[in-house]
A and B are shown apart, each in its own frame.
Chain A
Amino acid sequence: MTITVGLLVNPVAGLGGAAGLAGSDGADVQRRAAQRGGVSHAAERATVALDGLRSMLSAHDAVLVVAPGVMGETIAAATGLDAAVLDVPVSTPTSAADTTRCATAFAAAGVDLMLFAGGDGTAADVARGCGERIPVLGIPSGVKMYSGCFAVNPRAAADIARHFLAGRAAASAVPTTEMVEVIDLDEDALRDGQVRPRLTASLRIPVAPTVQSRKAPTAANVAEQAAAVAAAAADLLADGVPTALGPGGTTQAVADRLGVPGTLLGVDVVRGGNCDGSDSAGGGRLLAEGASEPELYDWATRGPLRIMVSVIGGQGFLFGRGNQQFSPRVLGAVGAANIVILAPEAKLAALGGRPLLVDTGDADTDALLSGYRRILTGPGQWAVYRVGERTDQHSTDQHQGAI
């Protein structure tokens, strides 16, 4: 089986960083950044990653496919690696639409893995183009990298890619990808000193290689941990109480387990039932898809409603980011005791001791949700973790995602 690897570079990623512009989204900002002397290091970083892949590419007779021009072709040429070039038009200067178009083409070509150099904005454009159809991996090159799809640095990206592709070449049956959330911050707000992460999409990334330590007590990989949380959550729903599933990958996995379609970015009301704890998915019913705030308020006041949310992104938000449908009045009507928080242990560990955050816009509601709370981390297991009201020390400090 021939292995194919794609490379897509956003040549203006990171332009606004050094220029102090809190991001580089949009032609206008890019022009201002260039005037202030901003430069993008995306090409250099992509080169480092390609170098790290060199021996692997030749060992497996792998095919490198690159986006045209400055979005890949010239970088591959400079490294001396043979590469096929995608047959898609690219404008000058390049734009977000080019990224999306190339990502679509990579998915159509069915590459085994697409590496992309950029930041959160690029990740969102990539997701728009290829969704979860192919595994992708970010070479961190942007200003903001809150999403879970980036390796910690270009060398690590090459390491993960090598490991993953070797598994592909060996036709390994182990599930080696996981879903991660793409998060973008509103850059205009960020320039005003506010952090407003939005969950915009999800991507499929290779699971970073782990050492199977003989003493490791947890599930062998992150994907299994997430599945265990989803299984435990689905078991809770067997009581038939209508439950509003918040946005995100973990709650999506709960919906999958119940056999109901879920809205990744929205809130769905579902009902569990005849879940026998066996592995077979199903038994659930979708009561309301993509529910709005008034609909949720209606559900909450008409009868018992449970809310199930997961931790969004590296920042650790539970409420107030990407799920404003859970308004203070909805949360008040549901009551703190009927809110179930889900998180794989690894996700809590990655918070580095920072509290989980709530920012509903209403101080009383925030206080109600704050303090030490139980987090469902798997079947029959919880963590007790601190939920804090958002304080402004969590400003724009860059936090990288899940890898």
Chain B
Amino acid sequence: MTRLPVAPKPPLRRFHQARWDEPIVFELSTPGSRGIGVPEVDPAIGATIGDDATLPAAIRRENPPALPELAQPQVLRHYVRLSQENLGADFNIDVGQGTCTMKYSPKVNEVVIRDPRLYDTHPCQDPATAQGTLEIVHRLERMLAEISGMDAVSVQPAAGSAAIWANVSMIRAYHASRGEGEQRDEIITTIFSHPSNAACAKTAGYKVITLHPDEHGYPDLAALRAALSDRTAALLITNPEDTGIYNPRIAEFVAAVHEVGGLACYDQANANGILGITRARDAGFDLCHFNLHKTFSTPHACGGPAAGACGVTEALEPFLPGPVVVRDDDGTYRLDADRPQSIGKVSPFYGVIPNIVRAYTWIMTMGAEGLREVAEIAALNNNYLAQKILQIPGASMGYPETDARIEQIRYTWQELTEQTGISTEQIGWRAADFGVHYWSSHHPFVIPEPFTLEPTESYSRGELDEYAAIIAEVAREAREDPETVRTAPHRSTVHLTGHEDFDDPARWAVTWRAYLRKYPGAGVRS
């Protein structure tokens, strides 16, 4: 037998991330350099309209903008290099970021959104000339109403948290409309619900009451009853929670909230394991929200723009953000802004249209049976990965005696950490050396030394095996070569960085201007 003259591949990839030492784009600026050479004004035109031939004085800047000056190839190289220094969803087995549902965003949808009939439209143009776009918005809202069982949906929010914010705003408007706005000043959530629920409630001025789980990891109904009163505005709850545990008594939770006159609001951002299986309305919820960039496949886009959807019952429909897209009897679509009880806009114009179109396309390609199959495969993948992970010495599941998990699992390294001193964060840094993303959990760590895996339906069995093998390898290193783990990452774009800089507002510099202000002398060429 002849062999190829190449060394066989080792069982784990010899990954090494690009490290470009790339300066900030402002530092690359060369005065006078330009991306586009704008042609001189044609003499004939100049002769006709005189000095204003470039730009009318009224819209001319007095001072040029302080932008970096670069030619096109330098700009291209700069951003391609930065993209190589990421661990993006398109090239890593992105199952380590549980609760984020990092599923595949089909590339064909990028083709669809680049159709000039969509791409070249402007949000200010006459709705009569954007009927197709409005029809897609309307149809998507109706499909999400069907999926959730709710009466009305708005896809205006530009992210999951924006949708939660819209829901909290509607809750506030609803109670105010009934004269109970002042009295109902408390919102209840659970510690394993996504923290955006507590954050949005707080931002809206509510007092926030957080329930801790019972000893099996389920939301505690007795704790809810103890928290409820005539001051309760609403319960905001995720199900399954970020542990992957589904609350089988969710309808009782909703009923208990209704008994005191509160509203029940379902964070359905974790819907990937229950699509086509349960619906918010069937458990009695008044409001719900989806993350289109999770369950419905649109890109997460590095923290936005994303897309969220709010679903409500008829009683709350008047409060939906607006303007809303309505379909008249003759089949034309228009924007209705004449809704006095509406909470108003929660994002510019009508939402993130490209994502709305991607989500619509995805649902249409899946079909109703396809959506259910997504949920089933997501749950199967999760259980398959769990079998692999639980074989790793030192890894176990939070609440191991509660065995049902849906689409994600919060695991714990407690045993490994006690034996080796290696923490879940350190494991995550080392996992980056193998080219995969890994995340622990929200704070506080209720499950000690946590990590949260959510494989979705998008990953093959081979990829799940590879991810589990990487985690197993890092756990082995924690025992046999802890120094390597402790000083990781070694093969990544950056090495171990201090986190004080993130903790200290005096040192943050999230813009170039802040950087120059806080670090005098920075950016000056030596």
Q: Is the CB of B499 within 8 A of A381?
A: no
Q: Is the CB of A172 within 8 A of B223?
A: no
Q: A249-262: contact bitstring with B at CB < 8 Å (1 yes, 0 no)? A: 00000000000000
Q: Does A80 have its Cβ within 8 Å of any Cβ on chain B? A: no
> Which residues on the A side are within 8 Å of B226 (C-beta)?
371-373, 384
> Which residues on the B side are within 8 Å of A174 (C-beta)?
500, 503-504
- Bound-state Cα–Cα, A127 to B215, Å: 36
- Bound-state Cα–Cα, A167 to B506, Å: 15
Q: Does B91 have its Cβ within 8 Å of any Cβ on chain A? A: no
Q: Is the CB of A217 within 8 A of B439?
A: no
Q: Is the CB of B222 within 8 A of A353?
A: no
Choose among B195, B226, B440 the residue with the greatest number of A CB atoms under 10 Å from its CB. Answer: B226
Q: Is the CB of A159 within 8 A of B421?
A: yes
CB distance from A232 to the nearest CB of B (A): 11
With contacts A346-B444, A371-B226, A385-B212 taken as known, whether A152 is within 8 angstroms of B418 at the C-beta atoms is yes
Q: Does B89 have its Cβ within 8 Å of any Cβ on chain A? A: no
Q: Which of A198-218 touch B at CB < 8 Å?
A: 209-218
Instruction: Among A349, A353, A380, A385, point to the contact of B444 (Cβ < 8 A).
Output: A349
Instruction: Among B199, B210, B420, B442, point to the contact of A155 (Cβ < 8 A).
Output: B420
Q: Is the CB of A213 within 8 A of B421?
A: no
CB distance from A324 to the nearest CB of B (A): 28
Q: Is the CB of B502 within 8 A of A384?
A: no
Q: Does B468 have its Cβ within 8 Å of any Cβ on chain A? A: no
Q: Is the CB of B417 within 8 A of A382?
A: no
- Bound-state Cα–Cα, A396 to B506, Å: 45
> Which residues on the B side are within 8 Å of A385 (C-beta)?
212, 223
Q: Is the CB of B499 within 8 A of A209?
A: yes
Q: Which of B69-94 touch A at CB < 8 Å?
A: none
Q: Is the CB of A349 within 8 A of B446?
A: yes
Q: Does B318 have its Cβ within 8 Å of any Cβ on chain A? A: no
- Bound-state Cα–Cα, A380 to B500, Å: 27
> Which residues on the B side are within 8 Å of A176 (C-beta)?
500
Q: Is the CB of B444 within 8 A of A383?
A: no
Q: Is the CB of A382 within 8 A of B442?
A: no
> Which residues on the B side are within 8 Å of A384 (C-beta)?
209-212, 223-224, 226-227
Q: A342-381: contact bitstring with B at CB < 8 Å (1 yes, 0 no)? A: 0001101110110000000000000000011110010011
Q: Is the CB of A155 within 8 A of B500?
A: no
Q: Is the CB of A382 within 8 A of B208?
A: yes
Q: A322-356: contact bitstring with B at CB < 8 Å (1 yes, 0 no)? A: 00000000000000000000000110111011000
Instruction: Among A173, A212, A216, point to the contact of B506 (Cβ < 8 A).
Output: A173
Q: Does B168 have its Cβ within 8 Å of any Cβ on chain A? A: no
- Bound-state Cα–Cα, A157 to B469, Å: 29
> Which residues on the A side are within 8 Å of B198 (C-beta)?
217, 381
- Bound-state Cα–Cα, A346 to B448, Å: 11
> Which residues on the B side are within 8 Å of A371 (C-beta)?
226
- Bound-state Cα–Cα, A349 to B443, Å: 9
> Which residues on the A side are within 8 Å of B440 (C-beta)?
211, 213
Choose among B211, B421, B502 the residue with the greatest number of A CB atoms under 10 Å from its CB. Answer: B421
Q: Is the CB of A218 within 8 A of B443?
A: yes
Q: B502-518: contact bitstring with A at CB < 8 Å (1 yes, 0 no)? A: 11101000000000000
How many B residues touch A, CB cutoff 8 Å?
46
Q: Is the CB of A212 within 8 A of B443?
A: no
Q: Is the CB of A218 within 8 A of B444?
A: yes
- Bound-state Cα–Cα, A279 to B425, Å: 33
Instruction: Among B202, B213, B418, B443, point to the contact of A346 (Cβ < 8 A).
Output: B443
Q: Does A90 have its Cβ within 8 Å of any Cβ on chain B? A: no
Chain A, Cβ-Cβ closest to B502: A212
- Bound-state Cα–Cα, A155 to B426, Å: 13
Q: Does B486 have its Cβ within 8 Å of any Cβ on chain A? A: yes
- Bound-state Cα–Cα, A211 to B207, Å: 28
Q: Is the CB of B421 within 8 A of A173?
A: no
How many A residues touch B, CB cutoff 8 Å?
45
CB distance from A313 to the nearest CB of B (A): 17
Choose among B196, B208, B425, B444 the residue with the greatest number of A CB atoms under 10 Å from its CB. Answer: B444
Q: Which of B400-444 touch A at CB < 8 Å?
A: 417-418, 420-421, 423, 425, 428, 439-440, 442-444
- Bound-state Cα–Cα, A373 to B223, Å: 8
> Which residues on the B side are within 8 Å of A83 (C-beta)?
none
Q: Is the CB of A380 within 8 A of B208?
A: yes
Q: B131-149: contact bitstring with A at CB < 8 Å (1 yes, 0 no)? A: 0000000000000000000
Q: Does A153 have its Cβ within 8 Å of any Cβ on chain B? A: yes
Q: Does B23 have its Cβ within 8 Å of any Cβ on chain A? A: no
Q: Is the CB of A372 within 8 A of B445?
A: no
Q: Is the CB of B498 within 8 A of A167?
A: yes
Chain A, Cβ-Cβ closest to B206: A380
Chain B, Cβ-Cβ closest to A348: B212
> Which residues on the B side are within 8 Å of A166 (C-beta)?
498
Instruction: Among B191, B213, B421, B446, point to the contact of A152 (Cβ < 8 A).
Output: B421
Q: Does B68 have its Cβ within 8 Å of any Cβ on chain A? A: no
> Which residues on the A side are within 8 Å of B207 (C-beta)?
380-382
> Which residues on the B side are within 8 Å of A373 (C-beta)?
226
> Which residues on the A side are within 8 Å of B191 (C-beta)?
345, 349, 383
> Which residues on the B side are within 8 Å of A382 (C-beta)?
207-210
Q: Does A39 have its Cβ within 8 Å of any Cβ on chain B? A: no
> Which residues on the A side are within 8 Å of B504 (C-beta)?
172-174
Instruction: Among A159, A212, A349, point to the contact of B503 (Cβ < 8 A).
Output: A212
Chain B, Cβ-Cβ closest to A379: B202
Q: Is the CB of B223 within 8 A of A386?
A: yes
Q: Does B181 have its Cβ within 8 Å of any Cβ on chain A? A: no
With contacts A213-B440, A374-B209 taken as known, whether A153 is within 8 angstroms of B499 at the C-beta atoms is no
Q: Does A156 have its Cβ within 8 Å of any Cβ on chain B? A: yes
> Which residues on the B side are within 8 Å of A212 (C-beta)?
499, 502-503
Q: Does A220 have its Cβ within 8 Å of any Cβ on chain B? A: yes
- Bound-state Cα–Cα, A346 to B443, Å: 8
> Which residues on the B side are within 8 Å of A263 (C-beta)?
none
CB distance from A156 to the nearest CB of B (A): 4
Q: Does B261 have its Cβ within 8 Å of any Cβ on chain A? A: no
Other than A210-B425, A349-B191, give 10 A-B pairs with Cβ distance below 8 A: A153-B418, A155-B482, A163-B498, A211-B425, A214-B303, A218-B195, A218-B444, A381-B202, A384-B224, A385-B212
7 contacts between A and B (CB under 8 A): A154-B421, A213-B443, A216-B442, A220-B503, A381-B198, A383-B211, A384-B226
**CB-based closest 4 A-B pairs:** A155-B421, A217-B195, A372-B226, A349-B444
